Structure 1
Amino acid sequence: MVRFWGLVLILSGLAATTATAQDDDYDRFSLNIAGGKSLSVRQLATKVFGETRGELADDGIGAQIIAAYYPTRRLGLAARLSYNQNRTREEGIKLIASGNYGVVNPVVESSEDWNALSAMIGPSLRLGGRRLGLEGRVLFGYASVNSPTFVTTGSYQNYAIRVQTKTQNARDWAYGAGATLNLGLIGGLSLVVNADATLISTTFKNVNNQITTPAFPAVNQLVDIEQHVGVLNVTGGLRFAF
């Protein structure tokens, strides 16, 4: 009888040790580095935040770093740092020129790109494993957006007018969500494809505009420009898990 209970205790200990090892057999940390295309989702941003006078964001490029920690096999915490550089939509510039300055038949003479840097954190859900896995995340954080310089010409009260809008920086809260598909290569190294959306609603304060017409001296005017920035980064890169 003593031998029997001794064998039971040994087997119970082995089972508990095996269960613990299996429970701990997953990657707790991962680092995802990727770059690729940045797609404008201004229509979604407008639906979420409401109408504005003109959405400036167009397509461009994006890069991001995602760090994730999983205290359990499935649920974890993700932090994402993203950078975007996007072209500026002429339609958005024309709407701002006509809405803010009353320019009739505006024409975009020149424009630069705009860029944004955001840092966000939130819960993450993981399915699958190292060979083939899928992660989803919902994020909240802060963003810094740099509006571009652009020049618009047209007419105002039968006079030719030229408006140069200078660059300006704004900071505000940002919301995001994303997903990652990973394909294991060797060890903790994987190929990844990411799809990450970012929505930012901000107001550029005291944007400097230089207005010139043949009939009047040049003047500088300060205006506030509200913008809803919406982008979807579709990126590819590498994931390191350990």
Structure 2
Amino acid sequence: MTTLTLTDVAVSRGAGPVISGVDAHVSSGEVLAVVGPNGAGKTSLIEAISGVIKTSAGDIRLDGDSITKLSRVQRARRGIIHVEQGRAVFPSLTVAENVRLTAGSADGVVAALEYFPELQKRFTAPAGLLSGGEQQMVVLARSFAARPRVLLIDEMSLGLAPVVVQRLLPAVTEFAAQGAAVILVEQFTQLALGIAEQALVVASGAVRYSGSAEVLAADPDLLHRAYLGESSVVS
């Protein structure tokens, strides 16, 4: 079983801290939703986990081994895959060719695209001709094909309608159920909480809630206070 553990993690950019004091733990088969207002430090946190930027304090461990000082490439080789904001497809390549970049085989392409039946008839279509939602499906399928132990997804809903996001999220849940640990940064809070076991609410550069996603989703007042940075609840 894969486990990713963050202990007192802090990230700084430029002259000052962006987020600090983050403790979190996610294991195989689980989805951890990271939500909060814009500018709260969610993207910086996920970039620190994948190694895009360095932490300024704290420790990140994968299966008990510290990866805090490893490069992004070294972390990727250990199974940490980061889906960044935006739909970064290779527009001139077909859907199948985009996914094959990480799958390594035709069978791997087919297996990854099985999460998205909508793409079954578009294997040979240039990815640049797909809709925004379909392009995000290609991005997710490509990340699934890499068979990550830990999958980090940053705002996959950016620029997409909620109805499209509702279609994408079950695929994330299904993929996690196959044994991956997933951390999902998402602007559609209730949708994200609906598929997650755990949740972090980040506001004003700190964790304002850490605990059950189900409990948080069922308590609008708690969620509101956490978003405003008025509460700090850890279950």
Specify if TM > 0.5.
no
Structure (1/2) with the larger helix percentage = 2
Q: Please identify the structure whose Cα radius of gyration is greater.
A: 1
TM-score normalised by the shorter chain: which range applies?
Answer: under 0.3
Return the TM-score normalized by structure 2: 0.19
Structure (1/2) with the larger strand percentage = 1
